[in-house]
Amino acid sequence: MRDVLLIALYALLGAVAAGLLGALALRALRHRSVAVSLAVVAAVPVTAMLAGTLAVAWAMFLSSHDLTVVTTVCAMAAVVSLATALLLGRWVVARSNALTRAARSFDEGGFAAPDGGATAELAELARELAATSARLAKSRERERALDASRRELVAWISHDLRTPLAGLRAMSEALEDGVAEDPERYFRQIRTEVDRLNALVGDLFELSRIHAGALPLSPARMSVYDLVGDALAGAGPLAREHGVRLVGGEVDAVPVEVDGKEMTRVLGNLLVNAIRRTPADGTVAVAARRAAGTVVVSVTDECGGIPEEDLPRVFDTGWRGSAARTPSAHGHGGAGLGLAIVRGIVEAHAGRVTVRNVPGGCRFEVTLPAARA
């Protein structure tokens, strides 16, 4: 028993010495290729076995023949282990290099995982890189769309500002030179243009707060019936001016928890948009209903519908459609900010707004969480 314990002790000392040398080698070679590290890892157990055997042979005074046999066996094992480790290392390095080359395609349109087998870790890394590449592609596409929207908005805002400013300057010069035949009419027109510019600046300020995530909300429990009633009352004069009928009969008194001022603005913008695009003698209908823990408020007009290719852009900042790029004769063309503000306010209330075509027109739907009972 004592001899067995001594053999185990000498073998352990030799193995520990080999392990320490292997750890030092791994630390020194930690910045080298993984193939080198695998070779060191393969060499450590063989060296540990050889060191333990030599320690036992020296302590037990084994014959030179037995020592030669053991050493030869360890040497052959070392050769096979090192060859296997090097082959595995070269294979892992090749797969890693292929993955590195594929990762360079991030800036070239997308990541394509390399062909061939790989270890579970490299395969998982490839899947993560592919998912990251897809997210980056979506982000780049969204950034390009936002950049195009900003440029479009700047161009349209510049036009919408230049036109009333030019009119204000012409009218002020006419009043200053005393050539205005009806000064009172000029004063009224100036006031109208100033109000329009003020509304435009207000919309821009509201949109900037929405994009910055700084829109202040003061939610309170209220009935959708009251919200729709206030919005219909506010849009009534414009509807009469355009000869459009407002219908709000299908409105359930469902409670919601929203900022009344901002949500009234949402419904007001949708109604104004519907009225201005509905021909005279047309109808704009408002409805509200409960649906699976939410409240859906819809505004349906008779505008004739929106082209299918334009539906995804309706709520983009600056979008007004190809037929509405300039203000109308009544100055109601707008800058394409109303629906963008609608989406921003609704999303700030954890809701969503959608649009779809219906026979004869289109329907905007605002979905909000229903208030808790």
* Identity of residue 24: L
User: Residues 6 or more apart from 249 whose CB is under 8 A from it?
Assistant: none
Beta strands in the chain (DSSP E): 220-223, 245-251, 255-258, 283-291, 294-300, 352-358, 361-369
Dihedral of the alpha carbons of 73, 76, 82, 83, in degrees to the nearest 10: -150
What average pLDDT does this structure show over 90-98? 75
Residue 246 CA to residue 281 CA, distance in Å, equals 10
Q: Is the pLDDT of residue 1 over 50?
A: yes
Longest CA–CA separation in the chain, Å: 130
End-to-end CA, the chain:
81
- Phi-psi category of residue 285: left, alpha or beta, with phi > 0 → left and psi -120 to 50 → alpha: beta
pLDDT-above-70 percentage for the chain: 79
The listed range with the strongest mean pLDDT (84-88, 115-119, 193-197) is: 193-197
pLDDT of residue 164: 81
- Classified as helix, coil or strand, 36 is helix
pLDDT of residue 321: 61
pLDDT of residue 254: 82
250 - beta bridge partners? 287
**Model pLDDT for residues 202-240, shown as the tens digit of each residue:** 888 887 788 777 788 888 898 888 888 888 888 999 999
- Phi-psi category of residue 279: left, alpha or beta, with phi > 0 → left and psi -120 to 50 → alpha: beta
**Model pLDDT for residues 103-115, shown as the tens digit of each residue:** 776 665 566 666 6
Structure tokens at 361: 């027109």
296: nearest Cα among 192, 370, 193 = 370
Residue 138 CA to residue 284 CA, distance in Å, equals 37
Report yes or no on whether pTM surpasses 0.85: no
Report H helices in the chain: 2-28, 34-60, 64-103, 120-177, 183-211, 224-242, 260-277, 338-348
Relative to beta strand 283-291, strand 245-251 is parallel
Q: What confidence tier does 23 reach under pLDDT thresholds 50, 70, 90? A: confident
Residue 336 CA to residue 325 CA, distance in Å, equals 9
45: nearest Cα among 80, 10, 3 = 80
225: nearest Cα among 286, 291, 266, 293 = 286
**Model pLDDT for residues 285-336, shown as the tens digit of each residue:** 999 888 888 899 999 999 888 888 888 888 877 666 644 433 333 333 445 6
